[in-house]
Amino acid sequence: MAEVERLKNWYQKLKTQSTAICPHCGGTQTVRTNERPSFRCRPCDRNFSLLAGLPVASLRFFESWDEGIDALAAGDSVTDIKRCMKMSLSAAILWEKRMMLMLEIMELHALKAWILWQRNRDRHRRAMLVHHHGVRFPQAGLVRSQRKKT
């Protein structure tokens, strides 16, 4: 899906970008300060982030976003995202909500619709199988891609 690749490319660019233009003075003599897309401008001696003003600006676990994006694009539940990114459930819920807002900002409407459809489809299918057939589901804790195909 082209929109998934666009989201992954955006993240990779943020992850690997080594210089940026300072929003305060317009200077180009900037140095990356840590793993997050944060920079320090040498001429004006100020810090800035490329994520400033975006819904994902204050989200943590930046180094794990790659796994989270894969899980989100696969339509995995928030619980699965929590497990693959090794974070608390409340942090995973916040991460998922803010990433869905980023999909809107980046105009990745088809990807957002597909994720929502996939989740609703799974939720309905599971409820019907439990209700009508008493089906038990695979071991909890495994992301969909790690589960055995039956």
- pLDDT (tens digit, 9 = 90+) per residue, 6-55? 999 999 998 888 888 888 898 889 988 877 888 999 989 999 988 888 89
* pLDDT band with cut points at 50, 70 and 90 for residue 104: very high
Same domain, 81 and 109: yes
* Whether 89 and 69 share a structural domain: yes
Would you state the pLDDT for residue 89?
93
24 contacts 46 by C-beta, under 8 angstroms: yes
Is residue 76 domain-shared with residue 128, that is, in the same domain?
yes
40 and 82: one domain? no
User: How many angstroms separate the most distant Cα atoms in the chain?
Assistant: 68
Here the tokens at position 74 are: 């696969």
Residue 3 forms part of a structural domain = no
Q: Are residues 41 and 101 in the same domain?
A: no
Same domain, 47 and 84: no
pLDDT greater at residue 124 or residue 44: 44
Do residues 72 and 47 share a domain? no
Rg, C-alpha atoms of the chain = 19
pLDDT for the residue 147:
59
80, part of any domain: yes
Distance CA 7, CA 10 (A): 5
User: In this structure, is residue 139 part of a structural domain?
Assistant: no
pLDDT of residue 67 exceeding 60: yes
Q: Which domain holds residue 100?
A: 59-133
The total number of structural domains in the chain stands at 2
How confident is the model at residue 83, as a pLDDT? Answer: 92
Mean pLDDT of 106-132: 76
